[in-house]
Amino acid sequence: MRGARAYREDWRAQLFAAHLGPAWRPAPDDAVRRRLAGRTILVTGASSGIGRATALALGRAGAEVVGLARRTAELSSLQAELAALEVSSTMITCDLRDPGAVGSALGQLAGIEVDTVVSNAGLSIHRSVAASVDRSHDLQRSTGTNLLGPAQLITGLLPAMRTRGHGQVINIGSVSALVPTAGWSAYAATKAGFDAWLRAVAAEVRGDGIRVSSIHFPLVLTPMVAAPPRHRWALTADQAAAVVLATLVRHPRQLCPWWARIAATTGIWAPQMIEGAPRR
């Protein structure tokens, strides 16, 4: 599979092992195929970035892919690429900020036995709070995309999973949920809110055979981020997809870079070290 292969063959892979920790290593291709072949997996935000790379990697592993995103044209392109790989797929246009659209999507999914949800759709806005005085809609948009929409979608899919006695939900999160930084308040707050919601849900559904995982990614080079080349530690979308597939195989409850765990703990006990010196 290209995702896992790209992770291993890229010369930066050894740096990533030190940067993220051994738990982030890709799963062997044969293990991925054994675990995922024949499963129906829903990927939100499938039109680009991590979502698109994950959908293609899942298709190559033998899974049936259900893609959900706002942009119909990009979903059609993804479906055509999956069809070229002889992969069965379903594409659903849905804006997670719109509760009615999410309800309609759940109606379309009613006849599909979704085994797994990869909750990947996200909205990242870099703007200071001073520049947000007249932009309350930024927080509203972020809340709809990163918290309320995904929660509504997953809540609607859980009853069928509980009835079948198995299922898996993977949250594509961010280190920003653990280590909030200046300028990313809306993103950090909504990502942290969904992570907390999903961890509470995990405690309720674990006895029903449903596994829940959260991946707190560091910077990943996607169209949403558009990071400059100097970010040498950033992952590519294919490398992130390889981590997602490994999570589908190994079922960790949480993946987080070791340095983010230290920073999160420091932020609790010595917040001044994370926040920096106050302005005068």
Q: How many CB atoms lie within 10 A of CB 118?
A: 31
In a domain? residue 280 = no
Known catalytic residues are 187
Residue type, 220: V
Over residues 35-48, the pLDDT tens digits come to: 999 999 999 999 99
Over residues 152-189, the pLDDT tens digits come to: 999 999 999 999 999 999 999 998 878 877 777 888 89
The confidence score (pLDDT) of residue 131 equals: 66
- How far is 272 from 138, CA to CA, in rounded Å? 27
Domain membership of residue 259 as a residue range: 2-51+61-127+144-268
Q: Which of 201, 233, 199, 197 is nearest to 217 (CA)?
A: 233
And the tokens for 168? 């898996």
In a domain? residue 81 = yes
Task: Residue 120: give its domain's CATH number.
Answer: 3.40.50.720
Over residues 86-140, the pLDDT tens digits come to: 998 999 999 999 999 999 999 999 999 999 999 999 887 777 676 666 777 778 8
The confidence score (pLDDT) of residue 250 equals: 94
Residue 15 phi, psi dihedral angles, 5° rounding: -65, -40
The confidence score (pLDDT) of residue 137 equals: 78
The alpha helices in 125-270, defined as continuous H runs, are 136-143, 149-164, 185-205, 237-250, 258-269
Cα 2 to the center of its chain, rounded Å? 19
What's this model's pTM, rounded to 2 decimal places?
Answer: 0.86
In a domain? residue 273 = no
In a domain? residue 274 = no
pLDDT category, 19, cuts 50, 70, 90?
A: low
The confidence score (pLDDT) of residue 262 equals: 74
Q: In sequence order, what DSSP letters do the residues of 22-81 get, joined into one string?
A: GGGPPPPHHHHHHHHTT-EEEEESTTSHHHHHHHHHHHHTTPEEEEEES-HHHHHHHHHH
- How far is 257 from 254, CA to CA, in rounded Å? 10
The confidence score (pLDDT) of residue 99 equals: 97
In a domain? residue 133 = no
- In this predicted structure, the answer to whether residue 248 has a pLDDT above a threshold of 80 is yes
The confidence score (pLDDT) of residue 129 equals: 74
Over residues 197-246, the pLDDT tens digits come to: 999 999 999 999 999 999 999 888 876 665 555 566 678 899 999 999 99
- How far is 158 from 114, CA to CA, in rounded Å? 10
CA atoms within 13 A on the CB side of 193: 18
The confidence score (pLDDT) of residue 14 equals: 55
The confidence score (pLDDT) of residue 89 equals: 95
The confidence score (pLDDT) of residue 35 equals: 93
In a domain? residue 27 = yes
Q: Rg of the chain over CA atoms, in angstroms?
A: 18
In a domain? residue 158 = yes
Structural domain count of the chain = 1
What is the CA angle 229-234-240, rounded to 5? 130
- How far is 238 from 233, CA to CA, in rounded Å? 14
The confidence score (pLDDT) of residue 233 equals: 67
Work out the average pLDDT over 11-18.
56
Give 104's contacts (C-beta < 8 A, 6+ positions apart): 94
In a domain? residue 171 = yes
The confidence score (pLDDT) of residue 24 equals: 83
